[in-house]
Amino acid sequence: MPVGYSIYVERPSLIHQRIDPRTKLAALGAVFVLALAFNHPAVLGGILVLVLLAAQLAQLSWRSLLPAMVGSLWFLVLSLLIWPFYVKGGPSLFILFGSTISVNGVLFGLAMGLRVALMVLAAGVWMMTTSPQKLTVGLLRLGLPYKAGVAMTAAIRFVPLLNAERITITEAQQARALDLKRENPFNRAVKSIAIIGPLFVRSIDVAQSLALALEARGFAARDGRTSIVQIGMTTTDRIILIALAAACLLAIGLRILGIGLITRAYL
Amino acid sequence: MAEPVQLQRMEPAIDVSEVRFRYSASGPEVLHDVSLRVEQGEYVALIGQNGGGKTTLAKHFNGLLKPVAGVVRTMGVDTRGPSVAELARTVGYVYQNPDHQIFAQKVRTEVAFGPHNLKLPPEEAARRVDEALELVGLREYADEFAFSLGRGLRQKLAVASVLAMSPPVLVVDEPTTGLDLQGSRNILDLLGRWNADGRTIIVITHDLALVAERVPRTVVISGGRIIADGATSTVLSEADLLGKAFLRPPQVTRVAQRLQKFGIASDVMTVAQLRAQLRLALGE
């Protein structure tokens, strides 16, 4: 059996089980605000450590965080290569291609890399700790139209399903002597049709049967419906929400005062 | 001085020796110490309940899966060496659902995909495509739109697209799923004709009645082990053994076994055989 693929990781942690999906969504938003409010690598690094602590509290393994971290590393390298040519100030380090590279430039490059890492990691931790069903219920309570909610859950549900289909199709075509690795890029693109074609047909098939199955079970017979997943705000949620709001206000205040910044010239 | 006569030893088509397999390093073992030898030219049915390990074993034959321990050889070649695409020359594998492989617009193009991957010269490829379409009975559909064919015809198309590669060993995974009796019979007859040309066929199926009618050798897999392997009439008449794999002998065999005290043989596989036995018992 081909193994499916799902981002959400079930864990018996406080963050997984006790905290309302709406709170977690707010926390993700707050991390984004904080990441954009500061551009000093020390501050952003500090927030990154907080996100990693949250991941530990959620009992996520380091290994599961690795893809997000490796992905952000590229941005870190790229930003360290580009920003020093634009941001000046502070003691000069050396001259490269006729441009003076200064401490501030390097620090800002580091900060921008950390900012991307922070956002990617926070989004990753959020997806790994929030089950799609609970998230949908949360969004419905926030006023998302019901059908849109189902469409969203179905879309998330489709990812592992279609991945399994892709694996099967690839195997079936390999058994017909399709060897993409040995082809030049042009032929590889042309021959990929042997995998993309059946994948499209299968996804349309699956979507159609899902639509029929939903209708057969009374989908949209009435507006709104009950849900087997129950969510609710607790005191913990309220405390977290107040803390998040305070942190965001503080960050915006500090930004206006110019604290925690390398330069005011860039976001 | 006379040269010593070199005996032409025929390699077995499939030689599985003490194979163990697990899907992930930490996952459970799904094949336990499986050994199986299929000679060239045999027609073998692989039966057993869902999740018993039939498909997992079959995917070892063309290298889609590599054993964790033990060795699998197809026509003498260790499957750990070559890629799946290279092994496809020797072992054809027809998937259960034809929709997992049909992508071309025309039936003919679909069938030609494998031969072209094998880099056969165009005339040779065209000849094999025509032969395969003829064999499965899709000749008049050659220029039809592949997706517009019905389920039974798409199944035949999937088989034809692998036959066109002319592999000496053919593995067919549940070719009768979703087909009516006529369609299932057609597919098994087709495999029988292919086998009559001396090619090896391994068919995975749940359809014991059809196995009883048409396939000479049966291997039963249950819980990742081979629990029975022998002549179909012997294997399929052992109710206790089949019970372990949650299978039952074909209906006609069970009827014959109930009539054993009237002198009816217990390994009757087809209605025709039972009729002959009854006639004998009634002294006609």
Domain assignment of residue A102, given as a range:
13-130+233-267
> In total, how many domains does chain A have?
2
Question: Distance of alpha carbon B238 from its chain centroid, rounded?
Answer: 22
In a domain, residue A3? The reply is: no
In a domain, residue A86? The reply is: yes
Q: Which residue of B has its CA nearest to A180?
A: B85
In a domain, residue A8? The reply is: no
The verdict on A160 and A260 lying in the same domain is no
The pLDDT mean for chain B works out to: 88
List, for residues B225-248, the tens digit of each pLDDT value: 999 999 999 999 888 888 888 888
pLDDT score for A2: 34
A167–chain B nearest CA distance, Å: 10
The verdict on A165 and A61 lying in the same domain is no
The verdict on A208 and A257 lying in the same domain is no
B108–chain A nearest CA distance, Å: 15
Mean pLDDT by 10 residues, chain A (267 residues): 59 82 91 90 91 88 83 88 83 78 87 91 89 83 81 79 88 88 81 89 87 83 73 86 92 86 75
pLDDT score for A207: 86
Give CA–CA dist B196/B215, Å, rounded. Answer: 12
- In this prediction the ipTM stands at 0.80
B6–chain A nearest CA distance, Å: 34
Give CA–CA dist A49/A31, Å, rounded. Answer: 12
B66 touches chain A (CB under 8 A): no
pLDDT score for A5: 56
Judge whether A240 and A19 are in contact, CB under 8 Å.
yes
Out of A7-11, B216-220, B279-283, give the one with best mean pLDDT. Answer: B216-220
**pLDDT classification of B188: cutoffs 50, 70, 90:** confident
The verdict on A38 and A114 lying in the same domain is yes
The verdict on A103 and A178 lying in the same domain is no
The verdict on A126 and A18 lying in the same domain is yes
Q: Report chain A residues whose CB lies below 8 A from the CB of B161.
A: 176
Q: Report chain A residues whose CB lies below 8 A from the CB of B59.
A: 171
In this complex, the residue of B24, B83, B88 whose CB is nearest that of residue A176 is: B88
Q: What percent of chain B has pLDDT over 70?
A: 97
Q: What percent of chain B has pLDDT over 90?
A: 49
Residue A67, Cβ density class (10 Å: 0-12 exposed, 13-18 middle, ≥19 buried): exposed
Is there a contact between B117 and A177 if contact means CB atoms under 8 Å apart? yes
Inter-chain CB pairs, A–B, below 8 Å? 79
pLDDT score for A6: 67
pLDDT score for B11: 86
In a domain, residue A154? The reply is: yes
B59 touches chain A (CB under 8 A): yes
Judge whether B89 and B54 are in contact, CB under 8 Å.
no
The verdict on A73 and A160 lying in the same domain is no
Q: Which residues contact B193 (CB under 8 A, 6 or more apart)?
A: B135
Is there a contact between A178 and B62 if contact means CB atoms under 8 Å apart? no
Is there a contact between B165 and A174 if contact means CB atoms under 8 Å apart? no
The verdict on A216 and A241 lying in the same domain is no
Which stretches does DSSP call E strand in chain B?
14-22, 29-38, 43-47, 69-74, 77-78, 91-94, 169-173, 200-204, 217-222, 225-231
The verdict on A109 and A153 lying in the same domain is no
In a domain, residue A135? The reply is: no
In this complex, the residue of A1, A176, A182 whose CB is nearest that of residue B162 is: A176
The verdict on A121 and A202 lying in the same domain is no
In a domain, residue A189? The reply is: yes
In a domain, residue A98? The reply is: yes
Q: Which residue of A has its CA nearest to B54?
A: A1
Question: Distance of alpha carbon A5 from its chain centroid, rounded?
Answer: 15
pLDDT score for B128: 92
Interval B128-148 mean pLDDT:
89
Between B224 and B27, the higher pLDDT residue = B224
The verdict on A42 and A126 lying in the same domain is yes
B117 touches chain A (CB under 8 A): yes
In a domain, residue A222? The reply is: yes
pLDDT score for B230: 93
Is there a contact between B113 and A176 if contact means CB atoms under 8 Å apart? yes
Q: Which residues contact A218 (CB under 8 A, 6 or more apart)?
A: none
The verdict on A112 and A216 lying in the same domain is no
Which stretches does DSSP call E strand in chain A?
92-96, 99-102
pTM of the model: 0.72
